[in-house]
Amino acid sequence: MSNTTSTGAGSTGTNSPGSALTNNLGKLGGQLGVLLCLIGFVALFLGWNGAASKNVIMAQFPFLISGGLAGLAIVVIGAAMLIVQNAREDRARLEATLERLITAVEHSSGGAAPRPASVSDGSMVLAGLASYHRLDCSLPAAREEAHLLPLDDALARGIEPCRVCRPPAMAQPTYT
């Protein structure tokens, strides 16, 4: 007897009592939110009905407080539970989609996706107005004018290499 199932995307494929319990408890939040909203609306109705049956304003206050405010609070709590449940479901769908995307990228490239050769071989630099930097240098990270540029273009502009990260002073030859 096998413990595996062919469930939807994002599942691990095993049926364990813990995962079924977690799945059912996850759905309970949304169902409980709907129930609380209904109870809150009933409390609001009963408070309004009780207040409407009294002619004196002082006699209406207990109904407004017990039915109106309590009912409104219960509706707000129920609506919050519905919002949280929807956010959980959206997050679970997003995680499943990301997992499928990661799997697809790994299968199509045969492993981790390689960086382009022009960026990883040192021929690209981060150029600012006065100096250029290695890609891993932390100095130009906070500056808005820093942009990716081929090393030859940075040298042609006449800007100086960074004294901290010491990028190459001339372009490395490419072997084909």
In 3D, which of 39, 33, 37 has the Cα closest to residue 84? 33
Q: How confident is the model over 84-134, as pLDDT tens digits?
A: 999 988 998 999 898 888 888 877 765 544 444 344 455 778 788 888 888
Residue 142, Ramachandran bin (φ over 0: left; ψ between -120 and 50: alpha; else beta) = alpha
Better pLDDT: 69 or 20: 69
Q: How confident is the model over 51-65, as pLDDT tens digits?
A: 888 888 888 888 888
Q: How confident is the model over 129-175, as pLDDT tens digits?
A: 888 888 777 776 556 677 788 888 888 888 888 888 878 776 555 55
> Is pLDDT at 77 greater than 90 in this prediction?
yes
- Give the pLDDT confidence score for residue 65 in this predicted structure: 84
Residue 17, Ramachandran bin (φ over 0: left; ψ between -120 and 50: alpha; else beta) = alpha
Residue 71 CA to residue 40 CA, distance in Å, equals 4
> Is pLDDT at 39 greater than 70 in this prediction?
yes
> Is pLDDT at 6 greater than 80 in this prediction?
no
- Give the pLDDT confidence score for residue 139 in this predicted structure: 73
- Give the pLDDT confidence score for residue 60 in this predicted structure: 85
Name 133's bridge partners: 126
> Is 55 in contact with 16 (CB distance < 8 Å)?
no
- Give the pLDDT confidence score for residue 146 in this predicted structure: 77
35 Cβ neighbours under 8 A, 6+ residues apart: 78
Residue that the structure tokens 């405010």 belong to? 69
| Cβ burial 1-40 (10 Å sphere, 16+ → b, else e) | eeeeeeeeeeeeeeeeeeeeeeeeeeeeebeebeebbebb
- Give the pLDDT confidence score for residue 83 in this predicted structure: 93
Better pLDDT: 126 or 70: 70
38 Cβ neighbours under 8 A, 6+ residues apart: 78
- Give the pLDDT confidence score for residue 141 in this predicted structure: 59
The helix (H) or strand (E) run that includes residue 147 is strand 147-150
- Give the pLDDT confidence score for residue 82 in this predicted structure: 92
In 3D, which of 150, 101, 106, 103 has the Cα closest to residue 125? 150
